[in-house]
A and B are shown apart, each in its own frame.
Chain A
């Protein structure tokens, strides 16, 4: 698929803003149904393989603000957003989890979502899994991944390999080719006539009586332009989607309930070399799910240095050993909430997040349990990522570690952002209706991670895609293409 350059005046029957897991699937469904679809992406089209995965260079090209984005709070929580054709699907770990069925049920009840039928969502998930080639690693897991399996087995903790949307050229775990949106749903959309424009930011939707008619844009060269449309799907992710709605003065429950999976990290050093720079572990430990999950992170030497930087004075000596080291995370489902606020005159929204007392305790015990797992898996030394952290070598050190931990001293980060425009008929806590149409508007839809009523406790991309396709199909069934 080729992207075309943006022009000052554009129009489309359906404007899709954003080309990630939500936007790409929406565009594919609507184009196939015969709508004239224009996808507008703020970032650029970066061909897979042209940048090193999980590198600083990739952050320059494919992340918003080079990856330096933060939800303010005590502690502040660093987060990342994809900003390129394909959005987050180009840069995430590629791990696929089905939407949890009991969670769908709970969402339907708690948020009054009409017609959210788990069997329908599961059948869509089946289709998605075919399109993006969800599969297990054909050979043995990588050494950093095996650490999680080994440690969990010794402790009797549930663990499993999480499948990824990858095609493997050979039997090697590192030969995977990610089946991101630029490889799957975006070309599919194009084959049905959808157009993709990159390097174009949507500043605002012009509203009249709950109806959006025109979007104002900023192009790559700084010029401004407009796009006229009949319907608009906002799929910019859980930060950008609510921010755009707020800039467009759309009222309602928007941007008030940001949900994330707060995550703390540690680095473990082993006797043998195990670092795999270009890949992430595929095993997750789910013994304490959904409240608490453990997994592995990208562990390039630069990221190892970053992970050691909180306690550099005592940890720095380890950096020369990065080939024997790998980074792991403990993620929690948070009871805290965040906010996204667009402020007039500021280009980017203000994002805040407040952890609860229970969240903080859970992060501490999670990091400690993860460190225990590392010791069981044979780690010689464990370096937790918080200021004042001790080097953990044995069981007694774990006691010291947990007594010195506080969330405020930790490098807390997150990648799974959602729930800023929750879907459902309960307008006191939902920004969009049961199918993603923004309440009190007639033609503005949200169709991305913003719709998830709560953080799902699993990698959310599968859930985002399945719900986006469900909603797009419902739209196609009720609105006729002008043709």
Chain B
């Protein structure tokens, strides 16, 4: 880790209304060194909501249209960083993976290259790398692609589009978060809390498979470190909590966090044989072959596997230090849900 960039004159964020986007925008707004924020919104109503947060410029547009990214960067100088958080994980149709995760990312990378931005940070995923071959394995900083179904394939193609632009001179860094949790979470995560409360979260197999997770604020730390570390050009980094958790540990910890926030929690009872996970995975493959996506099947199919990553290169090269662990992160996540008036 060497010197750090100063905050740029303009920070551009795509996907600002998403889970990660909202958390990032809140952080940037709280930082006085961020002089200008320019955000991409999909609609005028979204735009109005973003403008209510504070001093931001909003551009309305659809990232899948080639001119949107150019409009997003129009009229600002070269001292610009772009943080591209747009992505779709549970669409209705598989073709949206191509439109948003592949073409959308290519549009951003090409516009950033044409514009000559200081740094593009692209948010990828663990999915281009599939699952670990065994429980004790962890993905290293550089791994061969082995995409998990259509989402994984689209995130791989997105990464390749960015890396392709890097060979043409773009300064970009890729950040790969695994499963994240924390405030601003979408409704599907509320379901997760409800299932744990009811003791019905389906633990597949022996539950000793490991999952890397990342608390949303840890992820924002990692994104900003990737943005501001000059030596990170062309590199890819895992951003996750300090260690991977077993599924058993995740369920127990979430149960404890719910209990300590004053909820009643039933003993976990839902255990599924490993075979159920394999059947779900097979079902997911068939459904996706038909061009559709079924969220429950997808989640259950993946739940059977270990997906663990090794963040040591991220720590040594970006100076990243995960500050929050599972229990604490889950508690703040639960409190956020309560504040939002969500039923858990």
Residues of A in contact with B (beta carbons under 8 Å apart): 155-157, 287-288, 291, 358, 361-362, 364-366, 368-369, 371-372, 376, 395-396, 398-399, 401-403
Q: Whole-angstrom distance between the alpha carbons of A369 and B138 in the complex?
A: 13
- Decide: A398 and B145 in contact? CB cutoff 8 A: yes
Residue B93 interfacial (CB < 8 Å):
no
Residue B26 interfacial (CB < 8 Å):
no
Give B305's nearest chain A residue, CB to CB.
A361
Q: Whole-angstrom distance between the alpha carbons of A366 and B140 in the complex?
A: 13
- Decide: A362 and B140 in contact? CB cutoff 8 A: no
One of B30-38, B129-137, B249-257 at the interface: B129-137
Give A368's nearest chain B residue, CB to CB.
B144
- Decide: B144 and A369 in contact? CB cutoff 8 A: yes
Give B146's nearest chain A residue, CB to CB.
A402
Q: Whole-angstrom distance between the alpha carbons of A287 and B136 in the complex?
A: 13
Q: Whole-angstrom distance between the alpha carbons of A288 and B138 in the complex?
A: 9
Residue B203 interfacial (CB < 8 Å):
no
Q: Which residues of A contact B141 (CB under 8 A)?
A: 155-156
Residue B287 interfacial (CB < 8 Å):
no
Query: Taking the nearest CB of chain B, how far is it from the CB of A277, in angstroms?
Result: 30
Known contacts A291-B134, A395-B160, A399-B156; is-contact A155 B147 (Cβ 8 Å)? no
Residue B143 interfacial (CB < 8 Å):
yes
Pick the contact of B146 from A155, A291, A362, A368 — CB < 8 Å?
A: A368
- Decide: A362 and B134 in contact? CB cutoff 8 A: yes
Q: Whole-angstrom distance between the alpha carbons of A364 and B146 in the complex?
A: 10
Residue B44 interfacial (CB < 8 Å):
no
Max chain A CB contacts within 10 Å: which of B133, B140, B156? B133
Q: Whole-angstrom distance between the alpha carbons of A371 and B146 in the complex?
A: 13
- Decide: B145 and A395 in contact? CB cutoff 8 A: yes
Residue B142 interfacial (CB < 8 Å):
yes
Give B128's nearest chain A residue, CB to CB.
A399
- Decide: B146 and A399 in contact? CB cutoff 8 A: yes
Q: Which residues of A contact B144 (CB under 8 A)?
A: 365, 368-369, 371-372, 395, 398-399, 401-402
What 6 A-B pairs come out closest when comparing CB atoms?
A399-B145, A398-B144, A361-B133, A368-B144, A365-B133, A362-B133
**Which residues in chain B, 39-93, are within 8 Å of chain A measured between CB atoms?**
none
Give B141's nearest chain A residue, CB to CB.
A156
- Decide: A361 and B134 in contact? CB cutoff 8 A: yes
Residue B313 interfacial (CB < 8 Å):
yes
Query: Taking the nearest CB of chain A, how far is it from the CB of B61, in angstroms?
Result: 29
- Decide: B137 and A291 in contact? CB cutoff 8 A: yes
Query: Taking the nearest CB of chain B, how far is it from the CB of A365, in angstroms?
Result: 4
Q: Whole-angstrom distance between the alpha carbons of A244 and B231 in the complex?
A: 63
**B contacts with A: majority SS:** loop
Give 4 new A-B contacts, CB below 8 A, not counting A362-B134, A396-B156: A155-B142, A362-B133, A368-B144, A395-B163
Q: Which residues of A contact B143 (CB under 8 A)?
A: 369, 372
Query: Taking the nearest CB of chain A, how far is it from the CB of B160, in angstroms?
Result: 6
Q: Whole-angstrom distance between the alpha carbons of A364 and B130 in the complex?
A: 12
Q: Whole-angstrom distance between the alpha carbons of A288 and B153 in the complex?
A: 25
Known contacts A358-B134, A362-B134, A395-B160; is-contact A403 B140 (Cβ 8 Å)? no
Q: Which residues of A contact B142 (CB under 8 A)?
A: 155-156, 372, 376
Q: Whole-angstrom distance between the alpha carbons of A156 and B156 in the complex?
A: 22
- Decide: A365 and B146 in contact? CB cutoff 8 A: yes
Q: Whole-angstrom distance between the alpha carbons of A362 and B128 in the complex?
A: 17
- Decide: B133 and A364 in contact? CB cutoff 8 A: yes
Query: Taking the nearest CB of chain A, how far is it from the CB of B22, in angstroms?
Result: 32
Query: Taking the nearest CB of chain B, how far is it from the CB of A480, in angstroms?
Result: 49
Interface string of B184-196 (1 = CB under 8 A from A): 0000000000000
Q: Whole-angstrom distance between the alpha carbons of A156 and B142 in the complex?
A: 9
Q: Which residues of B contact A399 (CB under 8 A)?
A: 128, 144-147, 153, 156
Q: Which residues of B contact A402 (CB under 8 A)?
A: 130, 144-146
Give A332's nearest chain B residue, CB to CB.
B133
Q: Whole-angstrom distance between the alpha carbons of A399 and B156 in the complex?
A: 9
Known contacts A156-B313, A395-B160, A396-B160; is-contact A288 B137 (Cβ 8 Å)? yes
Q: Which residues of A contact B132 (CB under 8 A)?
A: 365
Give A364's nearest chain B residue, CB to CB.
B133
Query: Taking the nearest CB of chain A, how far is it from the CB of B137, in angstroms?
Result: 7
Give B316's nearest chain A residue, CB to CB.
A156
Pick the contact of A287 from B128, B140, B147 — CB < 8 Å?
A: B140
Q: Whole-angstrom distance between the alpha carbons of A309 and B112 in the complex?
A: 46
Q: Which residues of B contact A369 (CB under 8 A)?
A: 143-144
Q: Which residues of A contact B146 (CB under 8 A)?
A: 365, 368, 398-399, 402-403
- Decide: B140 and A156 in contact? CB cutoff 8 A: yes
Q: Whole-angstrom distance between the alpha carbons of A402 and B130 in the complex?
A: 10
Query: Taking the nearest CB of chain B, how far is it from the CB of A311, in angstroms?
Result: 19
Q: Which residues of A contact B163 (CB under 8 A)?
A: 395
Q: Whole-angstrom distance between the alpha carbons of A403 and B144 in the complex?
A: 11
**What are 13 A-B contacts defined by CB distance under 8 Å?**
A155-B141, A155-B142, A156-B142, A287-B140, A358-B134, A362-B133, A368-B144, A369-B143, A395-B160, A395-B163, A396-B145, A402-B146, A403-B146
Q: Which residues of A contact B134 (CB under 8 A)?
A: 291, 358, 361-362
Q: Whole-angstrom distance between the alpha carbons of A369 and B153 in the complex?
A: 18
**Which residues in chain B, 122-174, are within 8 Å of chain A measured between CB atoms?**
128, 130, 132-134, 136-137, 140-147, 153, 156, 160, 163
Q: Whole-angstrom distance between the alpha carbons of A157 and B136 in the complex?
A: 17
Q: Which residues of B contact A395 (CB under 8 A)?
A: 144-145, 160, 163
Q: Which residues of B contact A291 (CB under 8 A)?
A: 134, 136-137
**Which residues in chain B, 288-344, are within 8 Å of chain A measured between CB atoms?**
313
Q: Which residues of A contact B156 (CB under 8 A)?
A: 396, 399
Q: Whole-angstrom distance between the alpha carbons of A78 and B163 in the complex?
A: 41
Query: Taking the nearest CB of chain A, how far is it from the CB of B97, in angstroms?
Result: 15
Pick the contact of B133 from A358, A372, A376 — CB < 8 Å?
A: A358
Q: Whole-angstrom distance between the alpha carbons of A156 and B143 in the complex?
A: 11
Interface string of B90-130 (1 = CB under 8 A from A): 00000000000000000000000000000000000000101
Give A360's nearest chain B residue, CB to CB.
B133
Q: Which residues of A contact B130 (CB under 8 A)?
A: 402
Q: Whole-angstrom distance between the alpha carbons of A425 and B140 in the complex?
A: 41
Give B131's nearest chain A residue, CB to CB.
A361
Q: Which residues of B contact A364 (CB under 8 A)?
A: 133
Query: Taking the nearest CB of chain B, how far is it from the CB of A389, in angstroms?
Result: 14
Query: Taking the nearest CB of chain A, how far is it from the CB of B141, in angstroms?
Result: 7
Give A155's nearest chain B residue, CB to CB.
B142
Query: Taking the nearest CB of chain A, how far is it from the CB of B276, in angstroms?
Result: 15
Query: Taking the nearest CB of chain B, how far is it from the CB of A397, in angstroms?
Result: 9
Q: Which residues of A contact B137 (CB under 8 A)?
A: 288, 291, 362, 365
